[in-house]
Amino acid sequence: MSVTLDGVMQAPGRSDEDVRGGFTHGGWAVPFNDAVMAQKMGVGMAQTGAMLFGRRTYEDFIGAWAHRTDGNPFTEMMNNVQKYVASSTLAEPLPWMNSTLLAGDAADAVAGLKKEEGRDIAVIGSGDLVRSLAARALVDQYTLLIHPLVLGSGRRLFPDGAPPASLHLIDSVATGTGVIIATYTAG
C-alpha cells in the first residue's frame, strides 16, 4: 500500500485514478519508483497466492494489466494469479481471467478464504476494503510504501475515527528515492 507521510493513499498511480472529493494530486507515487522498490515488490508478489480487490481497484487494474504486452515483469503474475473481488455492484462472469466475485459480506467471505488459502492473500489499494477487514481483525500484515511527501488532503489508509491498532515492525528498507518500505504485523 503506497501512502504519503500524512497517510494519504488516494490515487498514487495516475492523475485521473481517483478524483473523489476533488482530489487533484493523483500520480504522486510515480516519481519515487526505483529498482529497490521493484525488487522488494517482486519478492512480495512471489509469496502471493491470491489477490483481493475492491471494485474500484479491480476495474482500474483490468485496464492497467489485463491486456498488457510490454514485458513488465509483474504482468504474468497479475494476470495468472487468482483474483477475488469484493463488490455489491459487479456480476459474474468477471472479465479478467482467474477472477471470482465474493458473495455476501466481504469480511465474512475473506474470513472463509483465510481458512482455505495456503499462501498469502494480498490486497493492493482498495482502502475501503482494507479498513473493513482491519475492523474485523482480518489483516495479518501491512506492507506500507511510505513516500517522503505530504499532500495535506486525500483519502487516508487510517482515517480519523479508525479503531486503535498496535503494529509490530518486522522488516524495513529504504529505496534510493527516499521511500521507506515497512512491513508490520497486526495485533
SS percent in the chain: helix, strand, coil, step 5: 30, 25, 45
Domains and CATH numbers, the chain: 2-186 (3.40.430.10)
pLDDT at 68 (0 to 100)? 86
72-112 residue pLDDT tens: 778 888 999 999 999 999 999 999 999 999 999 999 999 99
Categorize the per-residue pLDDT at 173 as very low, low, confident or very high, splitting at 50, 70 and 90. Answer: very high
Grid-cell match 475473506, residue found? 110
100-146 residue pLDDT tens: 999 999 999 999 999 886 778 999 999 999 999 999 999 999 999 99
Question: What does each C-alpha distance from 140 to 27, 120, 134, 166 come to in angstroms?
Answer: 28, 10, 9, 12
pLDDT at 181 over 90: yes
Categorize the per-residue pLDDT at 47 as very low, low, confident or very high, splitting at 50, 70 and 90. Answer: confident
Phi-psi map region of 82: left, alpha, beta (phi>0 left; psi -120 to 50 alpha): beta
pLDDT at 6 (0 to 100)? 97
- Averaged pLDDT score across all residues of the chain: 93
pLDDT at 76 (0 to 100)? 87
**Euclidean distance between the first and final Cα of the chain, in Å?**
18
pLDDT at 174 (0 to 100)? 98
More confident residue, 68 or 24: 24
